[in-house]
């Protein structure tokens, strides 16, 4: 997915520990790898950690004029399509209004149905932005507090350690140690997981993976719990609540989480190379019954722009709670509450948003203080969409 790595610099080296800076082969994205060995023979690997880091200032791409950046984006799209590495929709807006759109590829290759700007793509973890917004609305309304525990809001929660120690703040920022939902249990019981409560029944007995609040570790199950909290506090299903509190006021008319078995008009077919490296094949093995509060559901690039505009105009939250929602909680990971907070220290441009990806789906949304919004969605594997966003955003003008 990343085109391999190029070693750029060894930052630390000893007999049993090495830290190095790497660059992705397919983009300017950099990562830091840490390898540690056990002290005693045979010195097995005790730690192997790979984390994305900010691109070093010396090698960051230069800002271009708007026309140059858009021309470059068009060339990137052309090259990706020619290599059969992109199928999807691209939208770039300035001050809330589209200045560039492009659609490529097929929504259904077999039926030869082309993609349009209104095509509905599965968005994966991008849905966390909507969940976090709905939770912050409850905080703003003083129906819940960020320091409320899972046990206070879900009194019957099975695991007592999670119930007593994990807070809404921890869940929103992936610091609760609540773990993932994907793995052997998910594959074995995927067909049974139809509601948020089904996920809680399956994973609710698990203890935290680490002391809640001690560190960041991305947790899909943590956002499932936020969905359960939304349902408990509002008395509505998660789907009803985000529709009425987020999608409707934002004017998002083609965003929802219908069951996969429903023949939804305009929904694209997901195509994957996983398990079929030489040809695109329909993905059907990992798709859940229905998207939930941790991710999933469908949206369009135009709806993502509508969400960005509504957030910026404070139609969803007041200024104070919008800032709290979207501001990073630690500099190491750059994660806010359901949003990633990207800041270019070189010129002060700050972008917020979230990506999403799984076999047969990839997307990215960037909302920048420069006035630009970039939305890219694809029905191909990661990183078909986000590589285009990653290329464009640092090259757009800073003002």
Q: Within the chain, where are the H helices?
A: 66-82, 128-140, 150-153, 160-165, 168-172, 184-189, 196-203, 220-234, 238-242, 248-250, 301-312, 319-326, 386-392
CB 368 within 8 A of CB 399: no
**What is the distance of C-alpha 27 from the center of its chain?**
18
Spans in the chain with pLDDT lower than 70 = 345
| 297 in Cβ contact with 127 (< 8 Å) | yes
What's the count of helices (H) and strands (E) in the chain, helices before strands?
Answer: 13, 16
Query: Using a CB cutoff of 8 Å and minimum separation of 24, what contacts does 12-19 make?
Result: 16/43
**Residue 262: per-residue pLDDT:** 87
Query: Within a 10 A sphere around the Cβ of 364, how many other Cβ atoms?
Result: 28
Tokens of 243: 């529709």
CB 381 within 8 A of CB 272: yes
Q: Is the peptide bond before 42 cis (omega within 30 degrees of 0)?
A: yes
Give the contacts of 362 (CB within 8 A, at least 6 positions apart).
88, 124, 355, 356, 377, 378, 380, 381, 382, 383, 384, 385, 386
User: pLDDT of 248-262, one tens digit each?
Assistant: 999 999 999 999 988
Residue 380 Ramachandran class (φ > 0 left, ψ -120 to 50 alpha, else beta): beta
3-state secondary structure 233-260: HHCCCHHHHHHHHHHHHHCCCCCECCCC
Q: What is the pLDDT, as a whole number, of residue 29? A: 87
* Gap between the Cα atoms of 285 and 129, Å rounded: 25
Q: Are 228 and 200 in contact (CB under 8 A)?
A: yes
List the one residue out of 65, 148, 115, 113 whose CA is nearest residue 302.
115
CA–CA dist 172, 136 (Å, integer)? 9
For residue range 308-319, what is the model confidence (pLDDT) as tens digits?
999 999 999 999
Q: Residue 345: its pLDDT value, please?
A: 64
Q: How far apart are CA 148 and CA 165, in angstroms?
A: 9
Q: 362 pairs with which residues across the strands?
A: 357, 378
Kindly state the helix (H) or strand (E) to which residue 102 belongs, with its residue range.
strand 97-104
Q: Tokens 């917004």 label which residue?
A: 133
Angle at the Cα of 301 from the Cα atoms of 117 and 67, rounded to 5 degrees: 85
What are 342's two structure tokens? 């990207």
Q: Is the peptide bond before 383 cis (omega within 30 degrees of 0)?
A: yes
- 376 contacts 355 by C-beta, under 8 angstroms: no
């Amino acid at each position: 997915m990343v085109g391999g790595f190029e070693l750029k610099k060894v930052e630390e080296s000893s007999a049993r520990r090495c830290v190095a800076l790497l660059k992705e082969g397919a983009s300017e994205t950099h990562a830091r790898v840490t390898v540690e060995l056990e002290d005693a023979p045979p010195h097995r690997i005790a730690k192997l950690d790979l984390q994305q880091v900010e691109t070093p200032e010396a090698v960051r791409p230069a800002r271009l004029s708007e026309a140059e950046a858009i021309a470059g984006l068009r060339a990137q799209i052309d090259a990706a399509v020619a290599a059969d590495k992109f199928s999807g929709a691209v939208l770039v807006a300035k001050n809330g209004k589209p200045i560039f759109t492009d659609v490529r590829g097929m929504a259904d290759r077999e039926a030869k149905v082309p993609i349009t700007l209104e095509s509905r793509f599965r968005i994966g973890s991008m849905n966390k932005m909507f969940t976090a917004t709905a939770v912050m609305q409850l905080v703003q309304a003083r129906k819940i507090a960020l320091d409320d525990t899972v046990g206070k809001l879900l009194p019957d929660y099975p695991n007592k350690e999670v119930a007593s120690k994990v807070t809404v703040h921890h869940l929103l920022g992936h610091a609760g140690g609540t773990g993932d939902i994907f793995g052997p249990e998910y594959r074995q019981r995927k067909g049974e997981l139809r509601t948020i409560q089904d996920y809680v029944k399956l994973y609710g007995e698990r203890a935290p993976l680490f002391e809640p609040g001690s560190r960041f570790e991305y947790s899909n199950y943590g956002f499932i719990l936020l969905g359960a909290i939304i349902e408990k506090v509002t008395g509505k299903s998660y789907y009803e609540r985000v529709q009425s509190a987020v999608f409707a006021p934002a004017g998002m008319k083609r965003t929802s989480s219908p069951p996969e078995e429903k023949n939804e008009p305009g929904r694209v077919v997901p195509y994957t190379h996983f398990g079929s490296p030489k040809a695109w094949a329909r993905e059907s093995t990992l798709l859940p019954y229905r998207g939930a509060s941790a991710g999933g559901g469908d949206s369009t690039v135009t709806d993502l722009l509508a969400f960005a505009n509504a957030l910026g105009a404070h139609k969803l939250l007041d200024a104070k709670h919008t800032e709290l929602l979207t501001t990073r909680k630690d500099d190491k990971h750059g994660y806010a509450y359901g949003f990633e907070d990207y800041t270019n220290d070189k010129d002060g441009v700050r972008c917020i948003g979230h990506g999403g990806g799984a076999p047969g789906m990839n997307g990215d949304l960037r909302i920048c203080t420069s006035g630009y919004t970039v939305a890219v969605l694809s029905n191909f594997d990661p990183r078909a969409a986000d590589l285009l966003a990653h290329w464009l955003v640092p090259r757009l003008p800073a003002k």
